[in-house]
């Protein structure tokens, strides 16, 4: 954790696994070689990216390749985008989709209205050399000015002012979400990754669950999560409830949920390393099959080979080299359920990423998100 952070009651912390152990009252760090084997788990899609590095050829290749869905972001957005910086770094928009239809209707507990929402949004910056990464979570309740955009079907969507960030995805899907993030940050997204709720749940089950520790009881009737304080092995259903929980922790805002999501990403990273999926062919195949069915990518990553190459480039990034922050925001005085961008502080974040530099601590200090910190290292 950062020096100025303290644990937030009720928030999960990763359970020590594998080489991390207590000795004389102190936790020993995992050997560098083990840490560096873990892939970047920027969001739920990361588990799917991980397993593709070991997939085979022939029938399995064609089956897994056929599972993948991709969207042509570049064609939809055209040339009116931030300049691509060619310095070896990469920027990826990772979304968790909250689609209220099909299997996700049961998982979300909502009405099947045929709509889709961006329930989770993370901007992942992989630094030059691919040894470190920064993750910026974007609160879905942030009120923004959404730019006009064209979706991947060629349909146009008008600009809108003072709307929630996740309305971009609802309006025009992946292309409009990318357009909105690029408008906010001035940073070109090199790639896009999306995973749906049903796929996320199955991925966790295929992994055998993920261990987390809660510092106090969590009871959220809306996400149907009820956990006593202590250590739990979360199956897919409870893991999904955890990353959707907002009313059972903190002030009930989306900022508390983001802290849960960031904590779970780190726990997931540790679990993937601990179970050693690459040494278990059946588990590897089950994960790869589930992941390729659940994930949607940009067209450049729309094949098993491309996705495997992308994952291979992240193998130098261990969980200790992952900085996770929340986009600087403040509570909206007119509506406590909404937040507003703190433009000056946000620009410190975007400038750092544009210049491939670490995000300064001053960028999140004193923000609404900073008040909810304490879950993850940073």
Question: Does residue 86 form part of some domain?
Answer: yes
Residue 20: domain span: 12-371
Question: Does residue 112 form part of some domain?
Answer: yes
Give the separation between CA 16 and CA 319, rounded to whole angstroms.
13
Question: Does residue 269 form part of some domain?
Answer: yes
pLDDT on residue 245 = 81
Residue 346: pLDDT above 90?
Answer: yes
Question: Does residue 6 form part of some domain?
Answer: no
Strands 160-164 and 210-214: unpaired
Q: What percent of the chain has pLDDT over 90?
A: 34
What CATH number should be reported for the domain holding residue 215? Answer: 3.40.630.190
- The per-residue pLDDT for range 123-154, each reduced to its tens digit, is 999 999 988 899 999 999 999 999 999 999 99
Question: Does residue 4 form part of some domain?
Answer: no
Q: What is the CA radius of gyration of the chain?
A: 19
Residue 102: pLDDT above 80?
Answer: no
Mean pLDDT across the chain: 76
Q: What percent of the chain has pLDDT over 70?
A: 71
- The per-residue pLDDT for range 285-315, each reduced to its tens digit, is 788 888 888 889 999 998 888 887 887 777 6
pLDDT on residue 112 = 34
Question: Does residue 5 form part of some domain?
Answer: no
Residue 4: pLDDT above 50?
Answer: no
Domain tally for the chain?
A: 1
Question: Does residue 205 form part of some domain?
Answer: yes
Give the separation between CA 324 and CA 265, rounded to whole angstroms.
10
pLDDT on residue 283 = 74
Contacts of residue 175, defined as CB under 8 A and 6 or more positions apart, other chains included, come to 71, 73, 76, 77, 149, 150, 151, 152
CB 156 within 8 A of CB 148: yes
When pLDDT is cut at 50, 70 and 90, the band that residue 276 belongs to is low
Strands (E), 100-221: 116-126, 133-137, 142-146, 149-150, 156-157, 160-164, 191-196, 210-214, 218-220
- Give the DSSP per-residue string, 115-132: -EEEEEEEEEEEPTTSS-
- The per-residue pLDDT for range 183-221, each reduced to its tens digit, is 999 999 999 999 888 888 888 998 889 998 887 788 888
CB 286 within 8 A of CB 257: no
Question: Does residue 1 form part of some domain?
Answer: no
CB 119 within 8 A of CB 112: no
CB 124 within 8 A of CB 314: no
Of 158, 140, 138, the C-alpha closest to 148 is 158
């Amino acid at each position: 954790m950062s020096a100025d952070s303290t644990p937030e009651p009720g928030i999960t912390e990763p359970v020590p696994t594998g080489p991390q152990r207590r000795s004389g009252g102190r936790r020993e760090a995992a050997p560098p070689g083990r840490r560096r084997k873990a892939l970047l788990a920027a969001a739920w899609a990361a588990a799917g990216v991980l397993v593709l590095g070991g997939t085979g050829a022939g029938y399995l290749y064609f089956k897994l390749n056929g599972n993948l869905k991709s969207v042509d972001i570049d064609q939809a957005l055209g040339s009116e985008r931030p300049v691509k910086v060619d310095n070896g770094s990469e920027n990826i928009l990772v979304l968790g989709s909250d689609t209220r239809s099909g299997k996700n209707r049961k998982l979300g507990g909502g009405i099947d209205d045929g709509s889709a929402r961006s329930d989770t949004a993370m901007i992942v910056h992989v630094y030059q050399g691919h040894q470190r990464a920064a993750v910026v979570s974007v609160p879905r309740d942030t009120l923004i000015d959404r730019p006009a955009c064209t979706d991947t079907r060629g349909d146009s969507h008008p600009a809108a002012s003072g709307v929630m960030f996740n309305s971009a995805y609802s309006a025009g899907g992946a292309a409009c979400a990318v357009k909105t993030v690029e408008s906010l940050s001035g940073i070109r997204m090199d790639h896009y990754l999306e995973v749906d709720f049903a796929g996320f749940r199955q991925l966790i089950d295929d992994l055998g669950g993920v261990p987390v520790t809660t510092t106090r009881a969590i009871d959220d009737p809306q996400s149907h999560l009820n956990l006593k304080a202590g250590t739990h092995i979360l199956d897919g259903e409870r893991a999904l409830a955890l990353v959707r929980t907002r009313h059972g922790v903190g002030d009930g805002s989306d900022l508390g949920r983001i802290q849960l999501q960031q904590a779970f990403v780190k726990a997931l990273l540790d679990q993937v390393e601990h179970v050693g999926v690459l040494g278990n062919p059946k588990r590897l195949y089950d994960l790869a099959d589930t992941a390729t069915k659940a994930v949607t990518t940009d067209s450049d990553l729309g094949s098993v080979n491309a996705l495997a190459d992308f994952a291979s480039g992240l193998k130098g990034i261990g969980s200790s080299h992952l900085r996770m922050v929340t986009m600087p925001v403040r509570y909206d005085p007119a509506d406590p359920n909404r937040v507003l961008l703190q433009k000056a502080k946000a620009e410190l974040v975007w400038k750092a990423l544009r210049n491939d530099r670490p995000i300064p601590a001053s960028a999140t200090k004193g923000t609404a998100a900073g008040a909810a910190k304490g879950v993850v290292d940073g």
